[in-house]
Structure 1
Amino acid sequence: MAVIIEDDADIRHLLESVLTQAGFDVIATSNGHDGIQAVRAYEPIVTTLDVSMPGMDGFEVAKRLRTFSQTYIVMLTARDEEIDTLQGLEAGADDYLTKPFRPRELRARIDAMLRRPRMAFADDAAVVAPAVPAPPAPSPAAAPEAPAAAVPAAVPVVPVVAPSVEPAPHTGAHAAPAVPDAASSAVRETSEDSGEGWIEHNGLRLNREMRLASLDGRDLDLTRTEFDLLVAVVESKRRVRTKADLALLLRGESYVTAYYVTEADKRAVEVHMGNLRKKLGDSLTTPRWLETVRGVGYRLAAADE
């Protein structure tokens, strides 16, 4: 299921065509209020959102959607200023395209988002939404004692595929140093002591499989993108991850240099890393977790002594 929130009729019809061809059932709306109600009613996998709409603009719509929905939000707008991109991502958008956009690029970006884990919330803890298992086939030899419960018609389920974030095996420009330094040793030792699947650094604990994060015993409320970026940097230890590298990772194309990374993609990474720093309470000048390498990217800060 996909929801379109777009006040321009021509663009709305184009989006309907693109998303229908991509295999979605589409609900199209022309304003923010109707769009919010549609997302609440239909629980779509993807929502396209125009920024410049009369009444409630796209930034406000995105903020309201994020209070109750984990739908993937793609913002579409004629605004191409950097501040607009940053404001859209901070409002909760997963991606941002400027008009006029190319339908094939929109489909490619949606496909990339769907390759990232979807999230559900249970008891206020972020977990990966499991795929719905098929009901077991009845045994032909067994006599039916009671009619089986009816299985409701299922909304199309997108397979959950966790992104590959395993930097260690790579060689060449992305190869890790042969001799680990103090920070990488600390990450490795604490991860071994923290139990299966857990890594720890300076009081920060992460579990990629369960998608859990805590700092000094306090649960962290991270978005999908923030969690993926944080895991990538921590698992890479002291090896620098470039902005282009992290942008490709978020699109599900890690370490594939053939894919083009725009300046908007890099700015999006900067925004997400800035939001991560705020949630961690990290310092730019004396970081404990996210160290900026000027003009290049990010790496894990040294371990506390």
Structure 2
Amino acid sequence: MLVTGTAMMDVMSEPARTALRAMVVDDEPDLADLVASYLKRDGFDVTVVGDGAEAVETARAVDPDVLVLDLGLPGLDGVEVCRRVREFSDAYVVMLTARSDEVDTLIGLSVGADDYMTKPFSPRELSARIQARIRRPRAGLGGPATRTVPREVRVFGDLTIDVAAREVSVADEVVHLTRTEFDVLAVLSADPGVVVTRSALIDAVWRTGWNGADHLVDVHIGHLRRKLGDDASDPRFVITVRGVGYRMGDGA
């Protein structure tokens, strides 16, 4: 198609859209704009929202890859926003909280947050965490998205894990996992029978150098078991090795 004149200028001046989208949800405009500026610098197309209810609807429309979410929002709080967004999105969720006690943190993680930071925080560190999580290859894939990946399917009883497709099913029923939940399962299932320590899981799924609570792993393991229908008192898929970590069961 031939484009001339003003149309050509419009095409040339129109910025290319990034493949990665981020939402910043915080009712402190200065902080939200600061975080957004760092994400834009890193190549994200950023949407800023200051209200909980609006955040849920905007997330449906924007379909973000990353959601930076304040816990203390007007209207719907961050926990409820995360809970609702998790019904339709597997975005990487970083929860921001002004309260440092662990209860608030675990409440946030229990509805599907992947990470958290306590205010005041360094936007540079937040940016680094997001870059480490989003830019790295998915667990078990072994390379960037453009690389040809051999199809690998792992079977444990009636649990099937299609690594390349990032699909999980139990008894032929699809199980919808968040990105982090799938990555935890991918790491555990990569070498069945071998115990993976909490610190090794954190290094593999989150990032090397994580200095947060090990409870992060336990919370996601709890969600994973619940979605797989795995009874913690008599597990078939994810086995706890007390004082050490976790390993895959054979599904029997």
Q: TM-score range by the shorter chain?
A: 0.7 to 0.9
Structure 1 residue matching 2:187: 3-state secondary structure:
helix
Q: Please state how far the C-alpha of 1:239 moved relative to its aligned partner.
A: 1.1
Deviation, 1:197, is 2.0
Give the number of aligned pairs.
224
5 Å matches for 1:54-133?
54-115=74-135
Q: For each residue in 1:228-278, what CA deviation from the matched residue of structure 2 results, as whole angstroms up to 9, or x when unmatched?
A: 211221222111101111111112x5xxxxx323243x2111111011111
Q: Which sections of structure 1, spanning at least 5 residues, go unmatched?
A: 117-160, 167-195, 254-258
Divergent runs of 4+, >4 A: none
Counterparts of 1:90-239 in structure 2, within 5 Å, are 90-115=110-135, 161-164=137-140, 197-239=152-194
Shift of 1:8: 1.5
- Normalising by structure 2, we get a TM-score of 0.80
Distance in 2 (alpha carbons) for counterparts of 1:4 and 1:85:
18
Structure 2 counterpart of 1:272: 220
Does structure 1 conserve the Cα–Cα contact (< 8 Å) formed by 2:92 and 2:179? Answer: no
Q: Give unmatched runs, 5+ long, in structure 2.
A: 1-20, 143-150
8 A Cα contact 1:59 1:91, kept in partner? yes
Alpha-carbon separation, structure 2, partners of 1:27 and 1:68: 18
Distance in 2 (alpha carbons) for counterparts of 1:115 and 1:63 = 25
Q: Which residue of 1 aligns with 2:14?
A: none
Instruction: String of CA shifts for 1:197-226, please: whole Å, max 9, x gaps.
Output: 222122221110122222222222222222
CA contact (8 A) 1:165 1:249 kept: no
Counterpart of 1:262, as a letter, is N
The 1:50–1:293 alpha-carbon spacing in structure 2 relative to 1, beyond 3 Å, is same
- TM-score, structure 1 as length reference: 0.67
Whether the 8 Å CA contact 1:47–1:73 is kept in 2: the answer is yes
Of stretches 201-210 and 25-34 in structure 1, the one that deviates more from structure 2 is 25-34
Distance 1:234 1:81, change over 3 A: same
Q: Pick closer, same or farther for the CA change 1:95–1:217 going to 2, 3 Å.
A: same
The structure-2 alpha-carbon separation of the partners of 1:107 and 1:242, relative to structure 1 and needing over 3 Å to count, comes to same
- Give the counterpart letter for 2:95 in structure 1: M
What pairs up with 1:48-59 in 2 under 5 angstroms? 48-59=68-79
Q: In the alignment, what sits opposite 2:49?
A: 29
What per-residue deviation string (whole Å, max 9, x for no partner) do you get for residues 93-138 of structure 1?
A: 222111111122101111122136xxxxxxxxxxxxxxxxxxxxxx
Determine the C-alpha separation between the residues in 1 that align with 2:195 and 2:141: 14
Q: How big is the alpha-carbon RMSD for the aligned residues of Structure 1 and Structure 2? A: 2.2
| Alpha carbons 2:139, 2:187 under 8 Å: kept | no
**C-alpha distance in 1 between matches for 2:46 and 2:233:** 48
